[in-house]
Amino acid sequence: MPMQNKIDVDQLDVRPVENQLTLSKWYEFENAQAEKGEMFVGKAAHYIVLFGAHVTGETLKIFLDALTSLHIATHAVCAYRAHPDLPIGVAIKVGLPAGELPKSDIRQAAKKLDCQGAILPNLPQLDMPGLLVMDMDSTAIEIECIDEIARLADVYDDVSSVTAEAMAGKLAFSESLHKRVAKLQGIELDLISPLKDDLPLMMGIEPLCELLKAHNWRLAIASGGFTWFAEALQDKLLLDHVYANTLEIDGQQLTGRVIGDIVDAEKKAEVLNTLRERYKVSSGQTLAIGDGANDLVMMAAADLGVAIHGKPKVVEQADAAICKGSLLQLLYFLTVPSTNFLRA
């Protein structure tokens, strides 16, 4: 590039972006891109992350032009390696016009380039102690446990239709839970034990949890599913806590009832806030992930809420979303290099 710590976007080409930008080094824009940025009066800085595919200089150039068309002022850019098993990500420091964050527009602009994109109002840092609270079903694991129990007991259609309504926010969660569990009455534990012993983990969840624990993060599941399954994950995922609903058992059969307090949307948020206080987690260092409508309150309570392969309503309302690929991609949001040396 013609000047140290400066980038002329017009000189970016089809080579991988890491062959054109030094990793973890921020470049301020010059020439045409800087002039475009000055056209807009931005709010306080946010960061847009482009991730999930092998980004070229040409890809970045097209994406920056898309941001300009959205009246987003682009101030600086940085390519970085979030994890050895992930493609290089790109972070862009931006200023925004007044109004709602253009989250959907950014996702669509990235999708056209076979990438994913997110605008982050907060940047939790991997290398500082933090707290991750996650949903279990369809987030930490690939399945909805209650649907799989129902499949084994040949009542799948009855149960899954209610699950879908609940996850889409069309039915109060506690009501849907009681309706679904009632259909499980009389199921033998022997029938469902193999499911508990072989839960299919979401891709990337094990190395993610291992890395977070190595950086002194606290990990918890807050699930509208069941303790029987959540507790089976505790050692495997190095979890500090699990919160879920308790199925009543009579002998070796399910009674069709849930006992104790229901872990619903409000309870999930309460779990996050309680653990934040218990562990004195610093401001900006709480992360919540989930896929369903009953995760939204928890995600709003966190400093960063991320939809994981989420329902449309959840993707729309979350701070950010991972719509395909490994949960390791959360590291793109936790490892954005510092911009302290950049001008405000």
Instruction: State the Cα–Cα distance between residues 331 and 125, nearest whole angstrom.
Output: 9
**DSSP string covering 149-193:** HHHHTT-HHHHHHHHHHHHTTSS-HHHHHHHHHHTTTT-BHHHHH
Contacts 24+ apart (CB under 8 A), 187-191: 187/149, 187/152, 187/153, 187/253, 187/254, 188/252, 188/253, 189/249, 189/252, 189/253, 189/254, 190/252, 191/152, 191/153
Rounded Cα distance, 178 and 200, in Å: 25
147 is catalytic: no
* Token pair belonging to 41: 């009066």
H helices present in the chain, as ranges: 31-38, 57-69, 103-111, 145-152, 156-167, 173-182, 189-197, 205-214, 227-233, 265-278, 296-301, 312-317, 331-334
Q: What's the rounded Cα separation, in Å, for the pair 114 and 134?
A: 27
Phi, psi of 197, rounded to the nearest 5 degrees: -80, -10
Q: In Å, how far from its chain's centre is CA 213?
A: 17
Which own/partner pairs from 244-250 qualify as long-range (CB within 8 Å, at least 24 positions apart)?
244/136, 245/177, 247/181, 247/184, 249/189
**Tokens encoding 285:** 């260092």
Selected catalytic residue, list 10, 65, 105, 137 = 137
Question: Does the annotation mark 135 as catalytic?
Answer: yes
For tokens 């948020």, the residue is 269
Question: What type of residue sits at position 327?
Answer: L
Q: Which of 135, 264, 291, 295 is catalytic?
A: 135
Q: Which residues are marked as active site?
A: 135, 137
